[in-house]
Amino acid sequence: MKKAITASGAALLLALFVVACGSSGDAPPTSQGAPPHMTPEVGAKITAMAIVEACGSGCPPTVYVRDQLIKVTTEVGQEQPMSDATQQAIADEVPGVRFVRQTESLFGPSGAIDGGNSLLITVGPVEDLAPGIVGIEVGVTPRLFGGHGQVYQFQWSGSSWEPATSDVTGVTTTSWVS
């Protein structure tokens, strides 16, 4: 007698597989050894790389970046200040960046920023996801109530931090949409 796997059974098996793979802590090995200690300067460069990744084919002429580290789960008043090194690294990589604290005044009557020609970007702190893999949450908001965010991953190649995806690292992260 043949037994069929029901949809709920398949979902359970898939969930168990994802949990088993994702929680093992085993990341693909790096080619030349362990990454160096995460210094503020290295974290700043990773933050800038994540913003460039979030812009995709190119950032618009003006990019507003909130000058505090904030994640979607950060409670109001619990934001961390963005370091000068991080702001400088972002300015070096993203032409036309402007750092802001208050964001409400950026949105015009239509809800767009600068008539749809700019973005508001928020970033969280760089966090360890697994050995040799770090992630940073980046939120991109082109208009009021029209943003999205995700955790951008970077993997140590043995000589530098390189952009990576969950397919490469085996680390599953979440994203958000507003």
Q: What is the pLDDT of residues 83-105, one digit of tens each?
A: 999 999 999 999 889 999 989 89
74 assigned to some structural domain: yes
Tally of domains within the chain: 1
For residue 22, give the amino acid letter. Answer: G
Alpha-carbon torsion, ordered 45, 46, 50, 56, to 10 deg: 60
Residue 36 lies in a domain: yes
33 in helix, strand or coil?
A: coil
| 3 falls within a domain | no
pLDDT classification of 76: cutoffs 50, 70, 90: confident
pLDDT in the model for residue 32? 60
Residue 11 lies in a domain: no
* 1 located within any domain: no
Strands (E), 6-147: 62-69, 80-81, 97-100, 118-123, 127-130, 133-141
9 has pLDDT over 50: no
Residue 94 falls within a domain, yes or no? yes
User: Quick check: is 25 in a domain?
Assistant: no
User: What is the pTM (predicted TM-score) of this model?
Assistant: 0.77
Residue 24 lies in a domain: no
Q: Which domain holds residue 78?
A: 32-177
Residue (of 86, 98, 89, 87) closest to 61 by Cα position: 98
Q: Is the pLDDT of residue 46 over 70?
A: yes
Over the stretch 119-131, which tens digit does the pLDDT of each residue have?
Answer: 999 999 999 999 9
DSSP 104: G
Task: Report pLDDT for 6.
Answer: 36
User: Cα–Cα distance between 157 and 91 in angstroms, integer?
Assistant: 25
Does 65 have pLDDT greater than 90? yes
